[in-house]
């Protein structure tokens, strides 16, 4: 059974766009390339259930290899922050 947080995340991701990711990065003063934004978007859309369930080790390694160094560092920091906040 899906928790309320999982449901809300699922519904949010249905509307997420690459431009949303770019705008969020700009708002947070994080530099990411268009390629970084596409990769983050793709992983969020295709692997969110794995991230929510804690099956994230392999995905994080993949992202570390695919994203620019700064984009990975900032994305991982945000991931940990939100994971602690929303997946208690």
67 burial type by CB count under 10 A (0-12 exposed, 13-18 middle, 19+ buried) = buried
| Stretch among 25-29, 39-43, 49-53, 67-71 having the lowest mean pLDDT | 49-53
CB proximity list for 41: less than 8 A, separation 6 or greater? 16, 17, 18, 21
CA distance 79 to 57: 12
pLDDT of residue 82: 85
Signed CA dihedral, 3, 24, 17, 54: sign only: negative
Asked if the model's pLDDT at residue 73 lies above 90, the reply is: yes
**Tens of pLDDT, residues 36-47:** 999 999 999 999
Please tell me the pTM assigned to this model: 0.90
pLDDT of residue 3: 84
Mean of the per-residue pLDDT values of the chain: 92
Cβ neighbours around 11 below 10 Å, total = 9
pLDDT of residue 40: 98
CA distance 18 to 34: 9
């Amino acid at each position: 059974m899906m928790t309320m947080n999982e449901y809300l995340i699922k519904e949010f991701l249905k509307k997420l766009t690459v431009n949303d990711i770019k705008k969020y990065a700009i708002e947070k003063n994080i530099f990411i390339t268009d390629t970084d934004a596409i990769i983050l978007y793709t992983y969020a859309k295709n692997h969110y259930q794995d991230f929510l369930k804690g099956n994230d080790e392999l995905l994080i390694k993949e992202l570390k290899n695919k994203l620019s160094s700064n984009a990975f560092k900032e994305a991982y920091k945000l991931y940990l922050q939100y994971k602690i906040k929303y997946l208690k």
